[in-house]
């Protein structure tokens, strides 16, 4: 069997690109052939991911389309007679981006517009969470599969020993693209409360690539105003460096307003870091009962939760235990089984053409 993967964009710190690379390794192990293509390929990935304009499949090839943003020339692609499997990673609603990153907003608006055509044109529609799959069902997909993101959590290294806890000062961590829908601004505000009322020496680490320079500047200014000298913003970290940030953290705080899956909460589980999160989008489904989910808009409550999780050793231990249990659901082998089933179902379905 030959399976080609098609992405809208490919970058070195992009979760979907990493997943496509992991999928390819699995395909290779299963004896399946094929190549991976993207419309935009970041420098440094040339060779692993090819430019889509070179894409010329044979009619019997299976196409695995990763959809996470607007893709040019999609109509051309959907008109191909090949059997297609859609893997929907969610497209963040454009309204989050118009102010700080209009180019991203346009891509997201187009990506959402393209979704109905994609659903109509593929043999099998899959998504990486039930939350995302429900969007496909709303658009008329009758048979959906859930294939969680395939992530190698081992790449971050082993977790730090549970005892003793990470050395002081208390460290709050959030990992995710610096973007309005991730609400790093609320994380900074909640942290500033916590620092002022509970732990004057606390520090906050935000890791992620900024969606635009102006949004990065906005966050830096906010941090300098509310918690001068206590907030570090980092991007472009290696896996080893990212693992170090998790191992140094006392709590992982996610106040995102929209998440289609949220790999970083699972990374936090893998590193035994207790998680506090807003129950937005797919977060409750991803965390199960292994995180403290807080809906309150009052950031004083979030601040008190941080204090509780940092100081209550038994609560931390219980969250760590549940996190490790939760992680078993997302083991790479389990995800790979679901992927294989979905591809085989696509191959077994008669082509729409």
Q: Contact positions toward other proteins, by CB under 8 A?
A: 43-44, 98, 102, 186, 189, 192-193, 196-197, 212-214, 217, 226, 236, 289-294, 296, 298-305, 307-309, 312, 314-315, 318-319, 322
Q: How far is the CB of 197 from other proteins (least distance, A)?
A: 5
Q: Which is nearer to other proteins, 157 or 279 (CB)?
A: 279
Q: CB of residue 323 vs other proteins: minimum separation in angstroms?
A: 10
State in angstroms the smallest separation of the CB of 6 from other proteins.
24
Nearer to other proteins, 197 or 224 (CB): 197
Q: How far apart, in whole angstroms, are the C-alpha atoms of residue 304 and residue 299?
A: 9
We find the least distance from the C-beta atom of residue 219 to other proteins, in angstroms, to be: 14
Measured CA to CA, the distance from residue 261 to residue 89 in angstroms comes to 8
Nearer to other proteins, 21 or 293 (CB): 293
Using an 8 Å Cβ cutoff, are 286 and 266 in contact? yes
Cis geometry, peptide bond prior to residue 35 (ω within 30 degrees of 0): no
Q: Which is nearer to other proteins, 291 or 335 (CB)?
A: 291
* Cα gap 249→274, rounded to integer Å: 9
| Min dist. Cβ of residue 97 to other proteins (A) | 12
DSSP 8-class letter at 6: E
Q: Would you give the DSSP letter of residue 65?
A: E
CB of 152 or CB of 185, closer to other proteins: 185
- Least separation, in Å, of the C-beta of 242 and other proteins? 17
Angstrom CA distances, 220 to 121, 185, 225, 226, 254, stand at: 44, 10, 9, 10, 18
- DSSP-derived secondary structure for 179-247: -GGGTHHHHHHHHHHHHHHT-TT-EEEEES-BS-HHHHHHHHHHHHHHSTTTEEEE-S--HHHHHHHHH
Nearer to other proteins, 23 or 218 (CB): 218
Contact criterion met (CB below 8 Å) for 123 and 83: yes
């Amino acid at each position: 069997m030959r399976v080609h993967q098609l992405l809208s964009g490919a970058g070195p710190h992009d979760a979907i690109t990493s997943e496509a690379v992991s999928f390819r390794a699995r395909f290779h192990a299963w004896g399946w052939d094929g190549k991976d293509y993207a419309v935009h390929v970041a420098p440094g990935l040339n060779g692993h991911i090819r430019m889509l304009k070179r894409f010329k499949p044979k009619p019997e090839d299976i196409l695995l389309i990763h959809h996470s943003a607007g893709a040019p020339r999609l109509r051309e692609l959907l008109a191909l007679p090949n059997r297609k499997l859609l893997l929907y990673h969610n497209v963040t609603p454009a309204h989050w981006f118009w102010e700080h990153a209009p180019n991203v907003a346009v891509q997201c608006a187009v990506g959402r517009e393209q979704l109905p055509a994609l659903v109509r044109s593929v043999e099998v529609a899959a998504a990486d969470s039930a939350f995302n799959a429900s969007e496909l069902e709303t658009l008329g997909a009758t048979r959906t599969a859930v294939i969680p993101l395939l992530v190698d959590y081992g790449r971050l290294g082993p977790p730090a020993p549970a005892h003793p806890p990470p050395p002081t000062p208390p460290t709050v961590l959030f990992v995710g693209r610096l973007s309005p829908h991730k609400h790093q601004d609320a994380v900074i505000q909640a942290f500033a409360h916590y620092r002022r009322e509970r732990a004057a020496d606390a520090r906050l680490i935000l890791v992620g690539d900024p969606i635009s320079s102006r949004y990065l500047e906005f966050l830096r200014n906010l941090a300098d105003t509310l918690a001068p000298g206590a907030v570090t913003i980092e991007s472009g970290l290696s896996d080893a460096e990212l693992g170090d940030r998790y191992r140094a953290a006392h709590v992982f705080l996610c106040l995102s307003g929209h998440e289609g899956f949220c790999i970083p909460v699972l990374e936090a589980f893998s590193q035994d870091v207790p998680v506090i999160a807003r129950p937005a989008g797919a977060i409750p489904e991803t965390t199960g009962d292994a995180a403290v989910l807080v809906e309150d808009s009052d950031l004083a409550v979030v601040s008190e939760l941080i204090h509780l999780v940092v100081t209550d050793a038994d609560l931390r231990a219980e969250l760590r235990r549940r996190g490790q249990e939760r992680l078993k659901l997302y083991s790479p082998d389990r995800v790979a089984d679901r992927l294989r089933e979905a591809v085989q179902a696509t191959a077994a379905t008669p082509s729409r053409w």
